[in-house]
Amino acid sequence: MANVIKATDLTLAYNRGKNEIIKNANFSVKKGEFVFITGPSGSGKSTLLKSFYGHLKPAGGSLMVGGLDLTEVSTSKLQELRTHIGIVFQDYKLINEWTVAKNVVLPLMIAGYSLDVQHTQAQRLLRHVKLTEYANKHPFELSGGEQQRVGIARALAKNPMLILADEPTGNLDEYSSNVIWDLMENACGQLETTVVVVTHRIPTIFSLPYRHFIIENKGVYEVH
Amino acid sequence: MKFIKDHIMFILPLVAILLGIEFFLVFDRMTASYEQRLREGYSMLVVSNEPISLQELQSINKNIGQSIKIERDEILKEISLGQKQEDIKEILNVLPNFYTIKLAKYLDTSSLDELQKDLMANKKIKRVETFGNSYSSNYKLFSFIKFILKVFIVFMSVVSLFLVIKQMEVWGYVHKERMQVMEIFGAPIMLRSGVLFKVAIADALIATSIIVSLFLYFRYQIAEISGVDVLMNNSQLLFQPNDAVTLLLCAIIIVVISVYMVVFSSREKEA
Ligand SMILES: Nc1ncnc2c1ncn2[C@@H]1O[C@H](COP(=O)(O)OP(=O)(O)OP(=O)(O)O)[C@@H](O)[C@H]1O
Ligand SMILES: [Mg+2]
């Protein structure tokens, strides 16, 4: 199977290279794989995800995502790539002036789907994350866990090729967490979506095979 | 409430800029019409030995717009009463040609002197006489006012432009979150800035209509029924339909530039 992500001697840094977070990392993620990334707080998990959607350019080495070399990608190519990636942010990044329903279908709106389709899909997605009642509320009226679920629904909206999730269950109780893991397992198992999840706790009940990377001392290592 | 405040803070400086532009247009028209009146009220009499055509005169000085030959028969009639036919011919031979000269455009005093000198330098021309004396002093005052007004309008526009940009920065702050999230999900720039454009163009329309209504009001409700001659006769200078187009274009250009400034300043920066 083809690689969806391939890092070769990948180095990531802030402040124009002064603040190195990841150094000379080598790993790859194949299409349809489920990957967990763990590591201590501040080790660079969010940073690594940022580099996958082109928000942080590699300071060294190379990084291929969806066949694009992110060390030298044009704005328009990156834009195109991003429409195939569903991202769940640690801090949700919902748009507060929009309703929950509109937030959820942002990827469909960007893809130019009609308002009708957006409306039906919003309902379907909100049903999945058990937030049907909240469709017309605004994100700031929701609890952290509820906002997290809106963010997950948004990431799943367009059946992306790749899902990047940063602590998707960080604010959820066990029941809600299991709902989320089910959704992710479904996306991966049935739609062959590649899923990369950053988490502190790998769920104990998980039915799919998965790989586990850990970030330690600026390196990315696979745990067997 | 906050919505209204945000918009007023944007519309007001825009209105100020448009007001400056409209004032400028009005004053420009007033100047042009005043210059025309000065020009028309001014005349120059040229006395020449031989007939001289307009082309010839214009080749001497290009500022000559029109020459009117004063018919000699009329003069002849006056001075030839009771003269014999041969004598009349004799008189006709020595009688010079008279031309009234009109200017092609408004000239300042030194250009007028030059025009006079140019004409005198021509062999055919014997004399040049000018009429219209208040020309120069009035015009100097006029030019001075025009200059002051221009300085004022430029100053006002610069200050207002700063206010527009300032308000745009506030908007940028409000819209930043949304535009960045949309960018991360791959939205093209037009989609990201769409709302901002819609709002800003609406504001440009509002600002333009405010100024247009104001000047239409001045023209039809104040000037034309004022009973003051000078206002009634010149009311059309206050507002012309073309002004609306000029104002709208200016407003839209200002708005588009400001929106792009916001959009580009809120682009995701590499962390
Ligand atoms: N925008 C930034 N500019 C500079 N340094 C940053 C920036 N974002 C993160 N860092 C630094 O990079 C390091 C890794 O941060 P990152 O957010 O990737 O950690 P993390 O593994 O996601 O931690 P957590 O589990 O707490 O979310 C931290 O030391 C942090 O201070
Ligand atoms: Mg993090």
Q: What is the pLDDT of residues B99-143, one digit of tens each?
A: 888 888 777 777 888 888 888 888 888 888 877 655 566 677 777
CATH code at position A166: 3.40.50.300
Side chain identity at residue B128, one-letter code: V
Average pLDDT, chain A: 92
**B6 within some domain:** yes
H or E, element range at B126: strand B125-131
**Closest in B182, B191, B271 to A50, CB measured:** B271
Number of domains chain A is built from: 2
Token pair listed for A115: 């308002």
State whether B92 and B223 are in the same domain. Answer: no
Give the per-residue pLDDT at B269. 64
Tens of pLDDT, residue by residue over A62-95, are: 999 999 999 989 989 999 999 999 999 989 999 9
A106 and A1 inside one domain: no
Sign of CA dihedral A47, A51, A53, A55: positive
For residue A199, what pLDDT is reported?
Answer: 92
Same domain, B114 and B169: no
Q: Are residues A150 and A203 in the same domain?
A: no
- % of residues, chain A, pLDDT over 90: 75
The verdict on B76 and B178 lying in the same domain is no
Give contacts of A 74-93 with B, CB under 8 A. 78-83, 85, 87, 93
In a domain, A89, yes or no: no
> Does one domain contain both A136 and A221?
no
Q: Among A189, A187, A206, which Cα is nearest to A129's?
A: A187
Residue A40 predicted with pLDDT over 90 = yes
**Nearest residue to A127 via CA among A157, A160, A164, A159:** A157
pLDDT at B133: 54
Q: Which of A18, A38, A46, A214 to mutate to test the pocket of ligand 1 (most atoms within 8 A of CB)?
A: A46
pLDDT of residue B225: 77
**Does B137 fall in a domain?**
no
A148 and A188 inside one domain = no
B133 to B43, B144, B173, B230: CA distances (angstroms): 10, 19, 62, 22
Residue A90 lies in a domain: no
Q: Specify the pLDDT at position A153.
A: 94
The residue among B24 and A147 whose pLDDT is bigger is A147
> Domain check: are A105 and A55 in the same one?
no
Q: Is residue B138 part of a domain?
A: no
Residue A160 has pLDDT above 80, yes or no: yes
- Interface touch A106/B181, C-beta < 8 Å: yes
pLDDT computed for residue B183 by the predictor: 92
Domain boundary among A159, A181, A204: A159
Asked, for residue A130, whether it belongs to a domain, the answer is: yes
Indicate if A18 and A53 belong to the same structural domain. Answer: yes
Is A80 close to B270, i.e. CB distance below 8 A? Answer: no
What's residue A152's pLDDT?
Answer: 93
Q: Are residues A7 and A30 in the same domain?
A: yes
**How far is B229 from B227, CA to CA, in rounded Å?**
6
pLDDT over 70, % of chain A: 100
Question: Domain ends where: B101, B130, B159?
Answer: B130
Whether A199 is covered by a domain: the verdict is yes
Q: Which of A11, A12, A14, A38 to mutate to test the pocket of ligand 1 (most atoms within 8 A of CB)?
A: A14
Average pLDDT over every residue of A189-204: 88
Q: Which residue has the tokens 């906002």?
A: A147
Out of A137, A159, A181, a domain closes at A159
Domain-terminating residue out of A112, A127, A159: A159
pLDDT of residue A133: 94
Predicted confidence at residue B148, as pLDDT, reads 87
Task: Please give chain B's pLDDT, 271 residues, in tens.
Answer: 667 777 888 888 889 888 888 888 888 888 788 777 777 777 788 888 888 888 888 888 888 888 888 887 777 777 777 777 777 777 777 788 888 888 887 777 778 888 888 888 888 888 888 776 555 666 777 778 878 888 888 888 888 888 888 887 787 777 888 888 999 999 988 888 887 888 888 889 999 999 999 888 888 887 777 777 777 777 777 788 888 899 999 999 888 888 888 778 777 665 5
How far is Cα A196 from Cα A165, in angstroms, rounded to an integer?
6
Is A95 within 8 Å of chain B by CB?
A: yes
Which ligand minimizes its atom distance to the CA of A39? 1
For the record, the structure tokens of A70 come out as: 């992110």
pLDDT at B4: 79
A216 in any annotated domain: yes
The residue segments making up the domain with residue A140 are 95-159
pLDDT at position B270, please?
57
Query: Domain check: are B59 and B96 in the same one?
Result: yes
Read off the pLDDT of each residue in A47-62 and give the average, rounded to a whole number. Answer: 94
Residues from chain A contacting residue B271 (CB–CB below 8 Å): 14, 50, 55-56
How many angstroms is it from A161 CA to the middle of ligand 2?
Answer: 22
| Extended beta strands in chain A, E state | 3-14, 19-30, 34-38, 60-65, 68-69, 85-88, 162-166, 194-198, 211-216, 219-223
Is A28 near ligand 1, meaning CB less than 6 Å away?
Answer: no
pLDDT greater at residue A155 or residue B107: A155
CA of A84 to the centre of ligand 1 (A): 25
Please check whether residue B136 lies inside any domain of the structure: no
ipTM, 2 decimals? 0.90
Residue nearest to atom 4 of ligand 1 (CA): A14
Write out the residue range of the structural domain in which residue B111 sits.
43-130
Tell me if the pTM is above 0.80.
no
Q: CB of A121 within 8 A of CB of A157?
A: yes
The total of structural domains in chain B comes to 2
Residues B13 and B74 in one domain: no
With bands split at pLDDT 50, 70 and 90, how would you rate the model's confidence at A4? very high
pLDDT at A213 over 90: yes
Q: Is B71 on the interface with A (CB under 8 A)?
A: no
Main-chain phi, psi angles of A31, to 5 degrees: -60, 130
For residue A134, pLDDT beyond 90:
yes
- According to the model, what pLDDT value does residue B268 have? 67
Please report the pLDDT score of residue B93 as a whole number: 76
- Mean pLDDT of all residues belonging to chain B: 81
pLDDT at A151 over 90: yes
- Mark whether B230 and B244 lie in a shared domain: yes
Is A95 within 8 Å of B181 when comparing Cβ atoms? yes
Ligand 1 centroid–CA A41 distance in Å is 8
Residue B140 lies in a domain: no
